[in-house]
Structure 1
Amino acid sequence: MLPPAHRLTDSDSFRRAVRGGRRAGSATLVVHLWVDPTGVDGPVEVGFTVSKAVGDAATRNRVKRRLRHLTREHLPSLEELPGRAALVVRALPAAASASYADLGADLGRSLERVSRA
């Protein structure tokens, strides 16, 4: 579970990250990162999107749990970003059949690419 300070909950922040942020993808997920360097420093807020295309409710929940846990491991490196940041992790249908290790590798590569840009 992510700490409450790191949860992205309002739809405006989701929209801003997806439409205005940098994007990097892989076979199982797409990562959107929006950074406001002029904003007050604060914790990175993270949100997840898992559509019905991924699978039934049990499958979607399993994918969300895995992504939440994997993202929590990457929070310290994301805290180094200047200013305020919002991260949205969108699962693709291939995430349903991907192993935990594959999801972790895809998330790590995508976060590295989006953070460098």
Structure 2
Amino acid sequence: MLSSAFRMRRGDEFAEAIRRGRRAGRSSLVAHLRVGDQDAPPLVGFVVGKAVGKAVIRNRVKRRLRHLMRARVHLLPRGSLLVVRANPPAASAHSESLAADLDVALERLLRRPRDGRS
């Protein structure tokens, strides 16, 4: 699982990443990345709404996403905030397709210029 040092917990961090960060989406998930200037570890948060499924399904999707991010958190710049929001297709997605969607979204977010132009 993803270490607690990398877990986002505060609502204002979620809001900042979603409102001011860049966004990249796939069918099963959407990722929001806000690159900060501070020298802190990157923080990752997960949003899995009721549209994804009942509590058991939502928790399974969160566990899968946390496991996938554990191997990818080193790719994020220091001080960054990443929110991964699961879409309803994530409930029935295999781990391999969820991992592929996450990799594509992260690759898109990390290759974009940081000067605000898309």
For the aligned pair, the TM-score class normalised by the smaller chain equals over 0.9
Kindly report which structure 2 residues correspond to 1:1-117, keeping only aligned pairs within 5 A, or say none. 1-36=1-36, 39-78=37-76, 81=77, 83-117=78-112
The one-character-per-residue Cα deviations of 1:34-79 (angstroms, maximum 9, x if unpaired) are 011xx3211110000000000000000000000000011101111x
The one-character-per-residue Cα deviations of 1:75-104 (angstroms, maximum 9, x if unpaired) are 1111xx2x5100000000000010000000
- Larger % of helix: which? 1
Please list every run of 5 or more consecutive structure 1 residues that lacks an aligned counterpart in the other structure: none
Please list every run of 5 or more consecutive structure 2 residues that lacks an aligned counterpart in the other structure: 113-118
Q: In the aligned structure 1, how far is the partner of 2:50 from the partner of 2:99?
A: 21
Q: In the aligned structure 1, how far is the partner of 2:4 from the partner of 2:69?
A: 14
Count of matched residue positions in the alignment of Structure 1 and Structure 2 = 112
Q: In the aligned structure 2, how far is the partner of 1:48 from the partner of 1:76?
A: 17
Q: In the aligned structure 1, how far is the partner of 2:70 from the partner of 2:87?
A: 19
Identical-residue share of aligned pairs (%): 54
